[in-house]
Amino acid sequence: MDHHLFKSPGHDHGRCVKTAMNRAEQVCQRSGSRLTTLRRRVLELLWQNHAPLSAYELLELLVRDGRKAQPPTIYRSLEFLLECGLIHRVESLNAYIGCDQPQKEHETGFFICESCGYVAELSDSSINLSISKNAELLGFRVHKPTIEISGLCKFCTEDNDEH
Amino acid sequence: MDHHLFKSPGHDHGRCVKTAMNRAEQVCQRSGSRLTTLRRRVLELLWQNHAPLSAYELLELLVRDGRKAQPPTIYRSLEFLLECGLIHRVESLNAYIGCDQPQKEHETGFFICESCGYVAELSDSSINLSISKNAELLGFRVHKPTIEISGLCKFCTEDNDEH
DNA sequence: CAGTGTTATGTTATAATGTAACAATTTCCG
DNA sequence: CGGAAATTGTTACATTATAACATAACACTG
Ligand SMILES: [Zn+2]
Ligand SMILES: [Zn+2]
Ligand SMILES: [Zn+2]
Ligand SMILES: [Zn+2]
């Protein structure tokens, strides 16, 4: 169960992390928010993992860097990154993951593989349209939709079927 | 902000709780699972509230009953009720709520009012269809969809608009 | 460049949510 | 009744998150 898509031959992960960090710099520059060393590092750790990490896993990684970090340190960084739209929180995992497209406002959903941990972010899909329609029928004003579909990704499904 | 729908004139809440408990008895009888005094009480507390309650809020209510309850007590009851389909867990609130239609298997979604706490359960809607379609495109096998839309319910929206 | 207000981070303590492990009790069934 | 299985009690602990206050870094003015 170690075939994270981002480790697959088709995925240049070094480049993937770099472009994510570049995007982040741009996003912060435009909005005038400060991507400090700490915040940049937290985001980088998330992208290096390219899968959800919990606050305390991130904390552990910061400590390995040699930094004297306590829970508030990491939670504050995560709060900042969330506000900038650079990361998302995965409610059903109490974990955090880098966002694909922080440039544009978007409602997002996740397909989460229970076997390998891979997460596919899906935005502006027909799902959001369905939600809007259902909300309208109820007279409900949507603020933040949380859509997290857990199951098995393509590769893990194939593995299971073979055995 | 105290106009929970279940407190509104149109809603006979006493009856609502009773029918929910009756349904629960039936569901358990058919499946051969045991709705003990404790489990029945937990479910009843959830229905009396008719809105999400956290595990520790329920625990507090059990203690007020005079029961010597510790965390495992409540978590085990919740686990049982979840397995029976009598309640749902609301991931984005770390809370639990009684299920409308425990008779039939269903994938569910919630519209959660941030102002008054009311939760509308929505099942078998077009949302689930959209999810299936998107999943199919990804080759993803859905196990458990989590759909939790937070925002403002009809009544709270109207309140806001008036002021 | 010093002075000053603002923002960010460090530090300590504690709250809120959830489980593991084992003991005592109750229920079920022959 | 008597033993097996399920349920609940009890203690201890793990994980996730925040409050409150101290210090440090930064940004801007004059
Ligand atoms: Zn990558
Ligand atoms: Zn997978
Ligand atoms: Zn009711
Ligand atoms: Zn409302």
Distance (angstroms) between ligand 2 centre and the Cα of B140 equals 9
CA angle A133, B148, B61 (to 5 degrees): 135
> pTM for the whole thing?
0.92
Q: What is the pLDDT of residues B101-115, one digit of tens each?
A: 998 888 889 999 999
Taken in order of first residue, the domains within chain B and their CATH numbers are 2-162 (1.10.10.10)
Per-residue buried b or exposed e for B48-71, using 16+ beta carbons within 10 Å of the residue's own CB: bbbbbbebebbbebbeeeeeebee
Identify the CA nearest to A44 among candidates A28, A67, A22. Answer: A22
Q: Which of B89, B69, B90, B94 is nearest to B79 (CA)?
A: B89
From chain B, pick out residues whose CB is under 8 angstroms from the CB of A130. Answer: 125-127, 129-130
pLDDT tens per residue, range A4-22: 666 677 889 999 999 999 9
Res B3: pLDDT: 55
The rounded Å distance from CA B6 to ligand 3 centre is 5
Whether B108 CB is under 7 Å from strand D: no
Tell me how close the Cα of A149 comes to any Cα of chain B, in angstroms.
Answer: 4
H/E stretch holding A67? none
B24–chain A nearest CA distance, Å? 27
- pLDDT, tens digit, 9 for 90 and up, residues A91-144: 999 999 999 899 888 888 999 999 999 999 988 789 999 999 999 999 999 999
